[in-house]
Amino acid sequence: MNTRREFIEESAGAMAGIAFVGCGLADAASAQAQTRRREVVVNGRRVKTVDVHAHCSVPEAMALMNLKVAPETLLMSKASDRIRAMDGQGIDVAALSINPYWYKADRDVARQLIRVQNEKLAEACAANPDRFVAFASVALQHPDLAAEQLEEGVKKYGLRGAGVGGSVNGEELADPKFYPFWAKAEQLGVLVFMHPQAAGAPADLQNRLKGSGGLGNVIGNPLETTIALSHLIFEGTLDQFPGLKICAAHGGGYLPSYAGRSDAGCVTFPDWCTKPLKKKPTEYLRQLYFDSLVFTPEALRHLVAETGSSQIVMGTDYPFPWTKTSVDHILGTPGLTDDERMAMLGATAAKLLGIKP
């Protein structure tokens, strides 16, 4: 085994570009030696860029459900690969989250699993504190426990919010049974990152999404987000907790694309709207947050038009290679001011996640 210095020099020299695994040596330094870090500048001003949509896995926690990590790029023991990718793409900080796989766990398992997972998330952040923050995972199937876990995650482990699915075992996040969790998130003032799960779609729908094209993910995921957000609006959850900060993955799914219909429903057929709302359904889009993972400048322009640039934060979906150009997507979308670009690239997320500018 090389000394640390030899390792770094080798990495920077003849062996540059080769991924080192399993050496147990410091990650950040070797990654830095191999990839020039892209520094994003808008009109002469350096922006600290933040990716709010970055997946990872904790194998010790998954083992409690007899699950294995796949793909391996989710492992934080491979943080050097991740940092190298971030450096190349111009991403300064990634906010790590874990897609829920534990919603069927009983209370004892859920308690143990989340503790291990949040501890390990905190360790991963502490190993590279300038590059990573993380969302706590919570056992939302036990809403009172989830509230405790969020508080412990934030106060004890320094995590910056919570990651949740788009539904919980077929139940909507707007169900009053989840109020204890929403109340805690509102009270703590932390961001809740909502990411859909293919398994969240109803069984009959999953059946229709089979076949070529990966529709369960390609349209199933944004559809789940659309349904979840629509219920949070129409069931009055966002009126109940007006201080709640929710960030929806994948640009909020289809909701911002066809938002006008949500307003038109209650006007055209008032009987359908049994819960009085404090404002028009589309106005709630301006209090939610959305990641920028919508692929084209036109889609991002439209998202800004529907939600406001102040509500959009950058998301990459790392390590899933949907995009490697999130920074350029925001820089290259026409019609935005420099301040709007800076907000979307990182300033808004930094504020929401307590990242120093």
The yes or no reply on residue 224 touching Zn ion (CB under 5 A) is no
- Give the rounded distance of the alpha carbon of 73 from its chain centre: 17
Closer by beta carbon to Zn ion, 145 or else 164: 164
Q: Looking at 17-25, 263-271, 299-307, 314-322, which segment touches Zn ion (CB under 5 A)?
A: 314-322
Q: Is 92 in the site for Zn ion (CB under 5 A)?
A: no
Residue 52 or 336: which CB sits closer to Zn ion?
Answer: 52
Calpha distance 186→172 (Å, rounded): 18
315 — alpha (psi -120 to 50), left (phi > 0) or beta? beta
By beta-carbon proximity to Zn ion, the closer residue of 143 and 165 is 165
317 binds Zn ion (CB under 5 A): yes
Among residues 253 and 281, whose Cβ is nearest to Zn ion?
A: 253
Q: Tell whether residue 306 is a contact of Zn ion (CB under 5 A).
A: no
Binding string, residues 154-183; x marks residues near Zn ion by CB under 5 A: ------------------------------
Query: Which residue minimizes CB distance to Zn ion?
Result: 317
> Considering the complex, what minimum distance in angstroms separates the CB of residue 355 from Zn ion?
20
DSSP-assigned states of every residue in 267-287: HH-GGG--S--SS-GGGGGGT
Cα–Cα distance measured from residue 194 to residue 310, given in angstroms and rounded to the nearest whole number: 18
Is residue 81 close enough to count as binding Zn ion by CB under 5 A?
Answer: no
Q: With binding defined as CB under 5 A, does residue 291 bind Zn ion?
A: no
Which residue stretch of 88-96, 201-209, 228-236, 312-320 sits at the interface with Zn ion (rule: CB under 5 A)?
312-320
Does residue 51 belong to the site contacting Zn ion (CB under 5 A)?
Answer: no
Cβ-based nearer residue to Zn ion, 12 or 198: 198
Kindly list the distances between the CA atom of residue 280 and the CA atoms of 89, 167, 238, 283, in Å, as whole numbers in the listed order. 38, 24, 12, 5
Q: For residues 347 and 48, what is the distance between their CA atoms, to the nearest angstrom?
A: 7
The one segment of 32-40, 43-51, 234-242, 316-324 that binds Zn ion by CB under 5 A:
316-324
Give the Cα-Cα-Cα angle 278, 283, 289 (nearest 5 degrees): 120
Decide if 302 contacts 256 (C-beta within 8 A): yes
Closest separation in Å from C-beta 238 to Zn ion = 23
Burial 68-85 (b: 16+ CB within 10 A, else e): ebeeebbbbebbbbbbbb
Identify the helix (H) or strand (E) that includes residue 26.
none
Burial tier of 215 (Cβ tally within 10 Å: 0-12, 13-18, 19+) = middle
Cβ closest to Zn ion, residue 58 vs residue 147: 58
Residues that bind Zn ion (CB under 5 A): 317
